[in-house]
Amino acid sequence: MTMLPGSMTGSYYVRAIRPAFQDARHWLPAMRDRAVLRRHALKLRFWGPVGMVEDLDWDWIQARRDERIGEVRIGDVLGGCDNLRVITWHPKRLTRPSWNPTGAPVLHIWILAVFQKKRDEFTKGNLKTFDLRRQTVIDRFYDGIV
């Protein structure tokens, strides 16, 4: 098991952007349900090159595979919502974590969105939202270059 800086475990630093927190609050008003969602998302720390984590159901979004945007499927019913999805972005470039700006760069997995998916396909609006949120992360944390 790879150690992140400090005493953190895993290979990746998982970080959610503000709109993803707002999405989670929309779908899961109870804090206990958001805590369960957080535990599911933090399993991504152990994501490997082939994407195998024992009890994590995830896949690339086919329309955004080249941009490395994926989805984690939450099988539990949380806050009365079933079929929750956590949209993630897996950049290849290292960046310095905000909690240690002078430390060694680490790989991040960014949580872009949380929502309840009602059908198999993503709408054009969903894909545009994911693209814009990804671009926001690139502009803010990667100086516009990935």
Domain count, the chain: 1
pLDDT confidence tier of residue 49, bands split at 50, 70 and 90: low
Indicate whether 146 belongs to any domain: no
Percent of the chain with pLDDT over 90: 46
Least confident of 15-24, 29-38, 117-126: 117-126
pLDDT for the residue 119 = 80
CA atoms in the 13 A half-sphere facing the CB of 89: 24
* Average pLDDT rounded to a whole number, residues 99-125: 85
Indicate whether 4 belongs to any domain: no
Say if residues 138 and 145 touch (Cβ distance below 8 Å).
Answer: yes
pLDDT above 50: residue 1? no
Indicate whether 82 belongs to any domain: yes
* Average pLDDT rounded to a whole number, residues 95-107: 75
- Supply the DSSP symbol for 95: B
Indicate whether 83 belongs to any domain: yes
* Average pLDDT rounded to a whole number, residues 137-143: 89
Least confident of 67-81, 94-108, 126-140: 94-108
Indicate whether 75 belongs to any domain: yes
Note down the domain range covering 114: 13-141
* DSSP bridge partners of 3: 9
Name the strand (E) or helix (H) holding 20.
Answer: helix 18-27
* DSSP bridge partners of 59: 71
pLDDT above 60: residue 3? no
Q: Name residue, tokens 């720390």.
A: 45
**Torsion of Cα atoms, 50 then 133 then 123 then 92, to 10°:** -20
C-alpha closest to that of 54 among 36, 70, 40: 40
Indicate whether 114 belongs to any domain: yes
Indicate whether 7 belongs to any domain: no
Indicate whether 26 belongs to any domain: yes
pLDDT for the residue 13 = 87
